[in-house]
Amino acid sequence: MNSSSLSSLCCRRSALRQSVAHYRRFASASTASPKSAPPSPKNRWVGIAIITIAAGSTGAYLRSQSPASDTLNPETFTKYSLVSREPVSSTSSLFTLRPRYHSDRNYDVYEDAWRIGVWSVMFKQPQLQIGRDYTPLPVTAATPLTVDEENEGYLRFFIRKDPFGEVSRYLHSLSIGADIEMRGPQIECAIPKETQEVLFIAGGTGIAPALQAGYSLLNRTTEENRPRIHIFWANRLKEDCIGGQSDTPVLETVRRSWFSGWFGSSKNTSSNDQAALHSLEDKSTSMIVRELDGLKSQYPGQVTVDYYLDEENRFIGKKEISDYIASTPRPLDNVPGRKLILVSGPEGFISYMVGPKVWADGKELQGPLRGIIKELDLKGWAVWKL
């Protein structure tokens, strides 16, 4: 602790002692004379409040002086460095980060989280002192890390630049090499060990948790145990999933998309967006599609994906979901924990599919099941909102 910090701390402690002494003098003066009335409850609580505030401010100051951790943890923020930012579409990028200070323990922290299920970390926007949760991408054969990068604790994130998102705009403004503070892991959904079938309904960047769920679930594969995951991935624009081929024949429909109700028609894209789209269409396959294809190659017959595009009038609806449910193996019916539906994406997407999450007692909770999944009245499927 430097001299200015020590001086400041001493001043705070002195103020605390003065507050206690003042309260004691007040209590002594009030009780010394038999003619004096006892202190009123109001004055007593004022004195206690002064002591509490002074003690709390001193504790906060001491905590602020504690050194930052070199290992990712849920309690304090850990510094990472921005290694690269690779455009995935005109509105999103792949961020690669590594810990600012090397720690052998980071690898174990990541592995424990991967084994449990879907997890996230909080990124801090230091100017506004606000945070936003993002989901790390798993390492696959399609976009591998080197041995050194894995050992150094590299993490990758698929992040869309939201024009109204303070944290995402901040992240996209950073220069390579800049520090980013993160806290976690936060387990978003623990996938039960007995789970054999996952239906993941993803909207936009909600595909990142889907990749996580697939990675965690499929890593449990043995000769006797071959779990499956089917992913419905909805996007507004083709540029987000260039090269993606659905495993189930998808018929065009004129149903109204959830995107239209929340963001307006995707047909009204700006000229800049259209130019970016045309340039990106020259690429054979997008990075995220390569990730999905990599999982398919690594676990043949256990991963299937269907792509839905708002701009092509192809949307996820009751028929698509019920048709998939009807195709799942019958022996799994009514066995608790064996079949799981996960939904991830923007708030409007989640609300449309399964109803919104709710806040209570300062916590975000699942809330009642609603939306089109509720209307389907599925039996034997657990549902979780991410």
**Residue stretches of the annotated binding site for FAD:** 132, 134, 167-168
Bridge partner residues of 157 (DSSP): 95, 136
- Residues 340 and 327 sit within 8 Å (Cβ to Cβ): no
How many angstroms separate the CA atoms of 244 and 156, rounded?
21
Range 6-15 contact pairs with CB under 8 angstroms and sequence separation of 24 or more: 8/61, 9/58, 9/61, 9/62, 12/54, 12/57, 12/58, 12/61, 13/58, 15/54
How many angstroms separate the CA atoms of 377 and 362, rounded?
30
Tell whether the torsion through CA atoms of 20, 26, 28 and 30 is positive or negative: negative
Q: What is the largest CA-CA distance in the chain?
A: 93
How many angstroms separate the CA atoms of 172 and 160, rounded?
9
How many angstroms separate the CA atoms of 123 and 170, rounded?
10
How many angstroms separate the CA atoms of 299 and 286, rounded?
20
CA proximity to 133, closest of 62, 212, 194, 198 = 212
**Residue stretches of the annotated binding site:** 132, 134, 167-168
